[in-house]
């Protein structure tokens, strides 16, 4: 194979990769188009698996620090597949989760314990809190900067590296 053919093939692959990335970004933007942007609204729901009693207490304890807001459900199959990725990030970064339409606080706390997870979790039994956030499907990850503004949103399967990269960006945006 001659050198010009290698360059043409490499250029074609680069163009195809750029197109694939662009399609992915546009698709994610479309999926998350209704999720709240700007200031994060008040998170008022029962809090389980946490030392604090309210989401406001949790946010005060992590004041000025960007965090991940992870909306999931006990019945969600994709949520179970990314559970390890989310848990790895939660071990060394601020993470607050919302259990959407997953039952009463005791049921959510029991489900977390059965899975060996100790994420501070807001219980959104009716889905009202999720609706106020513009979340209509799980899993959804919302990345919030230290000022309480939404910096990035992703829906569906997300790698640990993807979560960490978005959180890093949200924490630097302050």
Side by side, which strands form the sheet with 38-39?
A: 38-39, 149-155, 140-144, 67-72, 95-100, 121-124, 47-48
Full-model pTM: 0.85
Is residue 122 pLDDT above 70, yes or no?
yes
Please report the pLDDT score of residue 174 as a whole number: 61
Q: How does pLDDT run across 138-173, given as a tens digit for each residue?
A: 999 999 999 999 999 999 999 999 999 999 999 987
Q: Check: CB of residue 33 under 8 Å from CB of residue 135.
A: no
Domain boundaries, the chain: 1-31, 37-172
Strands 149-155 and 47-48, bridge-based pairing: unpaired
Please report the pLDDT score of residue 32 as a whole number: 82
CA-CA distances (angstroms) from residue 63 to 16, 57, 171?
Answer: 43, 10, 12
Tokens of 96: 């607050």
CA–CA gap between residue 79 and residue 174 (Å, rounded)? 29
Q: Which CATH number fits domain 37-172: 3.40.190.10, 3.40.50.720, 3.40.225.10, 3.40.30.10?
A: 3.40.30.10
Report the greatest alpha carbon distance in the chain: 68
pLDDT band at 2; cut points 50, 70, 90: low
Q: How does pLDDT run across 49-93, given as a tens digit for each residue?
A: 887 878 888 888 887 789 999 999 999 999 999 999 999 999 999
């Amino acid at each position: 194979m001659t050198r010009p053919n290698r360059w043409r093939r490499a250029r074609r692959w680069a163009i195809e990769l750029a197109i694939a990335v662009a399609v992915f970004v546009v698709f994610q933007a479309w999926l998350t188009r209704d999720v709240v942007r700007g200031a994060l609204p008040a998170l008022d729901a029962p809090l389980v698996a946490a030392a604090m009693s309210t989401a406001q207490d949790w946010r005060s304890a992590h004041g000025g620090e960007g965090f991940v807001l992870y909306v999931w459900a006990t019945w969600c199959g994709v949520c179970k597949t990314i559970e390890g990725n989310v848990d790895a990030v939660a071990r060394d970064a601020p993470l607050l989760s919302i259990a959407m339409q997953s039952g009463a606080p005791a049921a959510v706390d029991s489900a977390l314990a059965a899975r060996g997870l100790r994420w501070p979790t807001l219980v959104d039994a009716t889905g009202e809190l999720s609706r106020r956030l513009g979340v209509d499907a799980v899993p959804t990850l919302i990345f919030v900067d230290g000022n309480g503004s939404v910096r990035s949103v992703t829906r569906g399967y997300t790698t640990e590296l993807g979560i960490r990269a978005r959180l890093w960006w949200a924490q630097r945006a302050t």
